[in-house]
Amino acid sequence: MTTYNLRTDSQNLVADFLNASVGLPSGIAALDNETLGFDPGEYIIVAGRPSMGKSSLARNIALSIGQPALNGGVLFYSLEMSYQEIAELLLANLAKVDYHAIKRGQVTDAIKSRLDTACAHLSTYNIIINDAPRLTTQDIHRNLRSYVDKGTDITCVIVDYIQLISVVNRGNENRQAEMTEISRELLAMAKEFGVPVIALSQLNRNLEYRESIRPRLSDLRESGAMEQDAHKVLLLHRPSYYDIKINAKAKDTGEAEIIIAKNRKGPVGSIKCGWISEYMSFVGI
């Protein structure tokens, strides 16, 4: 445990404060302007209903932080998708090509050329993917510690997603108690390793049955601990998703919203952005 005494430890406080830079970028400038990026030791929740784009935003963040110019490293734990799926989606994002068309075999020479160029570019990124289907917070801690001890530069951890994390000794605890334990462990990990830990989370289904379907902080699923523990909470909303569910002929307008529902170091509010369904990516507008 480290303790500080302001009488003896404040000599460089003003200089450090004035020299502090903004945190790691999400890749969406308007969002970074409001949140000041992701700082070391922060615990960030990115939440939304299924198919709202949580994993897509996580991949955007990984590409933004893991780019060669930042000399950082992203450790991406995917408990839902395989390494192959994530790599293909990252590739489609960098190449700006239609992921679903490629999976259907609709590939031209031009698309193949763009994919080859994007693959060479992606190989320079520092993104490490762990796709183990069952992980506990202890597993994540050990794995992260092994990279740090080997001298690997890890500047951000992403977990996709928090409800899939297992608990070692389930005992008679209910899921809410388990989620509280998991949330506190991820917060402690962010502080111990001095990196932002970004955890994706589901939202309660209840929001789909009320008059306003815009998500809010109280919709975080299974645990109030996440709301309490997190430094920042980002909620995703795409109105067209619900329009299409009601009317199959409705079009995806590409309208998207990132709601800053909690922000300990700045304002809350809403960021308008775009959604590109072809390669499943959020973009600034």
Question: What is the CB-side half-sphere exposure of residue 39 using CA atoms within 13 A?
Answer: 15
CB atoms within 10 A of CB 4: 8
Kindly tell me the burial class for residue 153, based on how many C-beta atoms sit within 10 Å of its own C-beta (0-12, 13-18, 19 or more).
exposed
- The single residue of 80, 85, 255, 278 carrying the catalytic annotation is 80
Q: Is 97 in a helix, a strand, or coil?
A: coil
Query: Cα(65)–Cα(70) distance, rounded to whole angstroms?
Result: 7
| DSSP, res 203 | B
Q: Is 64 in a helix, a strand, or coil?
A: helix
Query: Cα(195)–Cα(90) distance, rounded to whole angstroms?
Result: 22
Q: Is 227 a catalytic residue?
A: no
Q: Active-site positions?
A: 80
